Amino acid sequence: MSNDAADPGTAEMPHDPDWEVTVAQADALRKCDGVSLFLDVRTPAELETAAIDGATAVPMSDIPEVVERLAEHQQGKVVVFCHHGGRSLRVTQFLRQQGFTDAWSMAGGIDAWSRIVDSAVPRY
């Protein structure tokens, strides 16, 4: 994890290791097929602005209704993200309560992903 205070545009967001992974960790897990589900919980309007290739999009408000359809990922690592990380923390908590014991929120959300991992993803 980079904590380069001289360049805040590339520094990782602080994160809670009990609930969150950094964007660098999420990227590394994706590259080695270590993520069963990369879950984008932003709204459809946000998806039109920016998206991460390969992510599954389910708005946060729809998660309770579709959690059974996500059950195939219950035993795998699930990384949840939103714009900055607030919604994804709530969804991560909900998923863990539903038995997704390896669910994690991506600290800093798609905004941090754009700044640190893939600048081609637009910021908003």
Give the torsion through C-alpha atoms of 50, 53, 55, 59, to 10 deg.
20
The reported pLDDT for the residue numbered 96 is: 97
The reported pLDDT for the residue numbered 17 is: 87
81, 72, 24: which is closest to 52 by C-alpha?
Answer: 81
Fold topology of 36-116: Oxidized Rhodanese; domain 1 (3.40.250)
Task: List CB contacts of 32: < 8 A, sequence separation 6 or more.
Answer: none
Task: Please report which residue ranges of 1-124 form alpha helices under DSSP H.
Answer: 23-31, 44-49, 63-66, 86-97, 109-116
| Chunked mean pLDDT (size 10), the chain, 124 residues | 41 80 96 96 97 97 97 97 97 97 97 97 97
Reported as type and span, the H/E element at residue 107 is none
Q: Is the pTM of this model over 0.85?
A: yes
Provide the token pair at 23.
Answer: 């964007």
What single DSSP character describes residue 70? G
Report domain extents, the chain. 36-116
The reported pLDDT for the residue numbered 1 is: 33
The reported pLDDT for the residue numbered 6 is: 39
